Structure 1
Protein backbone atom coordinates (compact mmCIF):
# COMPACT_ATOMS: atom_id res chain seq x y z
CA UNK A 1 0.00 0.00 0.00
CA UNK A 2 1.44 3.38 -0.95
CA UNK A 3 -0.96 5.39 1.21
CA UNK A 4 -2.62 5.18 4.61
CA UNK A 5 -6.21 6.37 5.07
CA UNK A 6 -6.36 8.98 7.84
CA UNK A 7 -9.22 11.04 9.25
CA UNK A 8 -8.78 14.46 10.83
CA UNK A 9 -11.32 15.25 13.57
CA UNK A 10 -11.79 18.87 14.73
CA UNK A 11 -13.89 19.96 17.71
CA UNK A 12 -14.34 23.01 19.93
CA UNK A 13 -14.11 20.65 22.95
CA UNK A 14 -11.28 18.38 24.05
CA UNK A 15 -13.70 15.46 24.44
CA UNK A 16 -14.64 15.83 20.74
CA UNK A 17 -18.34 16.36 21.30
CA UNK A 18 -19.33 17.64 18.89
CA UNK A 19 -16.99 17.02 15.97
CA UNK A 20 -17.32 20.02 13.65
CA UNK A 21 -15.11 18.58 10.90
CA UNK A 22 -14.22 14.99 10.03
CA UNK A 23 -11.92 15.15 7.01
CA UNK A 24 -10.81 12.00 5.18
CA UNK A 25 -7.16 12.23 4.13
CA UNK A 26 -4.55 9.98 2.52
CA UNK A 27 -1.03 9.87 3.92
CA UNK A 28 1.26 8.79 1.11
CA UNK A 29 4.78 7.44 1.08
CA UNK A 30 5.75 10.00 -1.58
CA UNK A 31 5.02 12.80 0.95
CA UNK A 32 6.68 11.01 3.89
CA UNK A 33 3.22 10.08 5.27
CA UNK A 34 2.49 13.73 6.03
CA UNK A 35 -1.05 15.08 5.67
CA UNK A 36 -2.37 18.63 5.53
CA UNK A 37 -5.91 19.97 5.57
CA UNK A 38 -7.54 23.36 5.20
CA UNK A 39 -10.65 23.57 7.36
CA UNK A 40 -13.24 26.25 6.62
CA UNK A 41 -16.35 27.39 8.47
CA UNK A 42 -14.72 27.63 11.91
CA UNK A 43 -15.49 30.48 14.28
CA UNK A 44 -12.94 33.33 14.38
CA UNK A 45 -10.68 33.72 17.42
CA UNK A 46 -11.76 30.34 18.81
CA UNK A 47 -9.89 27.37 20.25
CA UNK A 48 -10.22 24.02 18.48
CA UNK A 49 -8.90 20.58 19.31
CA UNK A 50 -7.83 18.10 16.66
CA UNK A 51 -6.71 14.50 16.33
CA UNK A 52 -5.79 12.13 13.54
CA UNK A 53 -7.34 8.68 13.31
CA UNK A 54 -5.80 5.87 11.22
CA UNK A 55 -7.55 2.55 11.71
CA UNK A 56 -7.46 1.89 15.46
CA UNK A 57 -4.64 4.36 16.03
CA UNK A 58 -5.52 7.80 17.42
CA UNK A 59 -2.95 10.58 17.67
CA UNK A 60 -2.40 12.70 20.76
CA UNK A 61 -4.82 15.64 20.85
CA UNK A 62 -3.55 18.90 19.40
CA UNK A 63 -4.91 22.38 19.97
CA UNK A 64 -5.00 25.45 17.73
CA UNK A 65 -6.65 28.85 17.72
CA UNK A 66 -8.26 30.45 14.68
CA UNK A 67 -7.39 33.95 13.52
CA UNK A 68 -9.57 36.94 14.45
CA UNK A 69 -12.34 37.97 12.05
CA UNK A 70 -11.16 40.18 9.18
CA UNK A 71 -13.25 43.00 10.64
CA UNK A 72 -11.36 42.86 13.95
CA UNK A 73 -8.76 45.64 14.30
CA UNK A 74 -5.26 44.26 14.78
CA UNK A 75 -1.98 45.83 15.90
CA UNK A 76 0.24 47.18 13.18
CA UNK A 77 3.95 46.65 12.81
CA UNK A 78 6.56 46.71 10.10
CA UNK A 79 5.46 48.98 7.29
CA UNK A 80 2.89 51.62 8.23
CA UNK A 81 -0.68 50.61 7.45
CA UNK A 82 -0.09 46.85 7.16
CA UNK A 83 -2.14 44.89 9.71
CA UNK A 84 -0.72 41.78 11.33
CA UNK A 85 -2.77 38.62 10.77
CA UNK A 86 -2.23 35.25 12.35
CA UNK A 87 -3.59 31.84 11.47
CA UNK A 88 -3.04 28.17 12.06
CA UNK A 89 -2.49 25.14 9.87
CA UNK A 90 -3.18 21.60 10.90
CA UNK A 91 -0.44 19.34 9.68
CA UNK A 92 0.14 15.78 10.83
CA UNK A 93 2.83 13.22 10.28
CA UNK A 94 2.40 9.53 10.86
Structure 2
Protein backbone atom coordinates (compact mmCIF):
# COMPACT_ATOMS: atom_id res chain seq x y z
CA UNK A 1 0.00 0.00 0.00
CA UNK A 2 1.27 3.42 -0.92
CA UNK A 3 0.05 6.89 0.05
CA UNK A 4 -1.33 8.63 -3.03
CA UNK A 5 -1.89 12.09 -1.52
CA UNK A 6 0.39 15.12 -1.45
CA UNK A 7 3.93 13.97 -0.67
CA UNK A 8 6.35 15.69 1.66
CA UNK A 9 6.19 17.41 5.03
CA UNK A 10 2.88 19.09 5.89
CA UNK A 11 2.70 22.20 8.04
CA UNK A 12 0.28 24.69 9.54
CA UNK A 13 0.02 28.23 8.22
CA UNK A 14 -2.06 31.16 9.42
CA UNK A 15 -3.36 33.10 6.42
CA UNK A 16 -4.88 36.26 7.87
CA UNK A 17 -7.24 34.68 10.44
CA UNK A 18 -7.65 31.32 8.67
CA UNK A 19 -5.80 28.12 9.59
CA UNK A 20 -4.50 26.22 6.55
CA UNK A 21 -2.56 23.00 6.09
CA UNK A 22 0.10 23.32 3.39
CA UNK A 23 2.96 21.35 1.88
CA UNK A 24 5.78 22.89 3.93
CA UNK A 25 8.36 22.99 1.14
CA UNK A 26 5.97 24.78 -1.23
CA UNK A 27 5.65 28.04 0.74
CA UNK A 28 6.97 31.21 -0.92
CA UNK A 29 6.41 34.74 0.34
CA UNK A 30 6.97 37.93 -1.61
CA UNK A 31 6.03 41.60 -1.50
CA UNK A 32 2.26 41.39 -1.10
CA UNK A 33 1.88 37.78 -2.26
CA UNK A 34 2.08 34.22 -0.96
CA UNK A 35 2.30 30.98 -2.86
CA UNK A 36 1.84 27.47 -1.45
CA UNK A 37 0.32 24.06 -2.15
CA UNK A 38 -2.79 23.80 0.01
CA UNK A 39 -3.62 20.46 1.61
CA UNK A 40 -6.66 21.69 3.53
CA UNK A 41 -8.10 25.22 3.40
CA UNK A 42 -10.86 24.98 6.01
CA UNK A 43 -9.64 23.91 9.43
CA UNK A 44 -11.89 24.78 12.37
CA UNK A 45 -9.34 24.79 15.19
CA UNK A 46 -5.61 24.48 15.78
CA UNK A 47 -6.02 21.04 17.40
CA UNK A 48 -7.52 19.72 14.14
CA UNK A 49 -4.74 21.44 12.19
CA UNK A 50 -2.03 19.69 14.24
CA UNK A 51 -3.63 16.29 13.67
CA UNK A 52 -4.04 16.86 9.93
CA UNK A 53 -0.48 18.19 9.54
CA UNK A 54 0.87 15.13 11.39
CA UNK A 55 -1.02 12.65 9.18
CA UNK A 56 1.92 11.76 6.89
CA UNK A 57 4.19 11.26 9.93
CA UNK A 58 1.58 9.13 11.70
CA UNK A 59 1.09 7.00 8.59
CA UNK A 60 4.84 6.48 8.19
CA UNK A 61 5.24 5.52 11.86
CA UNK A 62 2.33 3.10 11.66
CA UNK A 63 3.72 1.51 8.48
CA UNK A 64 7.12 1.06 10.14
CA UNK A 65 5.52 -0.44 13.26
CA UNK A 66 3.43 -2.85 11.17
CA UNK A 67 6.53 -3.93 9.22
CA UNK A 68 8.53 -4.46 12.42
CA UNK A 69 5.72 -6.48 14.02
CA UNK A 70 5.23 -8.56 10.88
CA UNK A 71 8.94 -9.44 10.84
CA UNK A 72 8.72 -10.43 14.52
CA UNK A 73 11.94 -11.94 15.86
CA UNK A 74 14.01 -10.63 12.92
CA UNK A 75 13.76 -7.05 14.20
CA UNK A 76 16.78 -5.75 16.11
CA UNK A 77 16.60 -3.46 19.14
CA UNK A 78 17.95 -0.43 17.20
CA UNK A 79 15.21 -0.90 14.59
CA UNK A 80 12.51 -1.02 17.30
CA UNK A 81 14.05 2.03 18.95
CA UNK A 82 13.83 3.92 15.63
CA UNK A 83 10.20 2.89 15.13
CA UNK A 84 9.29 3.97 18.66
CA UNK A 85 11.07 7.34 18.29
CA UNK A 86 9.32 8.03 14.97
CA UNK A 87 5.95 7.14 16.51
CA UNK A 88 6.57 9.38 19.54
CA UNK A 89 7.57 12.31 17.30
CA UNK A 90 4.46 11.87 15.14
CA UNK A 91 2.21 11.68 18.21
CA UNK A 92 3.79 14.84 19.66
CA UNK A 93 3.28 16.68 16.37
CA UNK A 94 -0.37 15.54 16.21
CA UNK A 95 -0.93 16.83 19.75
CA UNK A 96 0.69 20.18 18.92
CA UNK A 97 3.66 19.57 21.20
CA UNK A 98 6.35 19.56 18.48
CA UNK A 99 6.85 21.09 15.04
TM bucket (normalised to shorter chain) is 0.3 to 0.5
TM-score relative to the length of structure 1: 0.35
Higher relative contact order (CA 8 A, sep 6+): 1
Greater strand content:
1
Greater helix content:
2
